[in-house]
Amino acid sequence: MESPQRVLSALSQCARHHWTDQANCRMAWQQWPASSADATPLLLVHGGFGSWNHWVSNIEALSEHYAVWTLDLPGLGSSGDLPEPWNTAKISELVLAGWRELHGDKQVFELVGFSFGGLIAGLVAASAGSQCARCVLIGASGFGALHVQAQLLPLPGPELDQAAAEGIHRENLARLMLHDPSCIDDLAVHIHSNNLKQHRLRSRRMAGSNDLAGVLSQIEAHVVGIWGQYDATAGGRVNIEARRQLFLQAQADAEFHELPGVGHWAMYEAPATVNRLILG
């Protein structure tokens, strides 16, 4: 099996790398080769404490149908720090401005967001109007009291050796991100630990806001919700069903899917299923 470093390096080398500078925030964007010159652009927005590599299991398959783009959100990955005010409106404003710098304000696109990135994707879709045709939200935060903060172990300090630090990351992945223990592999641990080393954005307070629920009805794009049955942030079956009702109240033909046996990082744990739902 290839090392996590080689897997991510090989995937990154396939991409074209772009930069935008909005409001003194330099943002990193990645463009993946598409199978067709006229493929619809698809933007994948990663979760909190993450980067583009949250989509490592999805990029290649989706590139067969879309012109796939990823990014590093402000304060995360290779992007610059988030300028004040530190709120979801500012982040979504920067993302949409950067996207339009790269694509203009006429090109129709589709959007997928995971966790905190789902909250941001929803805000971007609401602001983009008819330019955004489809918005898929995977384990999205931004539903106020429905959202649950998983209790995690403190992050390992420099005094711990690699094995001890890795053990903490594996436990936290089990508590927050992945339900199936077999999915907590070396690649998942590498992605998680390295993203934590780069994060400068504290997104948990924003994740617990009601910001996404407040704009669901303003999204013109066709909305799709995807939640894992065992998503640690979901609050169980009752809260997942409450989200389903919010989606349907906002948009009568909205789709909502609960994935059996799957945790929060659904597109890593069940990539074939999630890719199929993204494709529609």
How confident is the model over 155-165, as pLDDT tens digits?
Answer: 999 889 999 99
What's the pLDDT tens digit per position in 209-264?
A: 999 999 999 999 999 999 999 999 999 999 999 999 999 999 999 999 999 999 99
Buried b vs exposed e over 92-105: b needs ≥16 C-beta within 10 Å? Answer: bbbbbbbbbbbbee
- Band (166; pLDDT cuts 50, 70, 90): very high
7 and 56 Cβ atoms separated by less than 8 Å: yes
pLDDT at residue 179, rounded to an integer: 98
What's the pLDDT tens digit per position in 100-129?
A: 999 999 999 999 999 999 999 999 999 999
What does the pLDDT average to over 168-197? 97
What's the pLDDT tens digit per position in 79-104?
A: 999 998 899 999 999 999 999 999 99
What's the pLDDT tens digit per position in 4-41?
A: 999 999 999 999 999 999 889 999 999 999 989 999 99
Averaged pLDDT of the chain? 97
pLDDT at residue 202, rounded to an integer: 85
pTM above 0.95, yes or no: yes
pLDDT at residue 222, rounded to an integer: 98
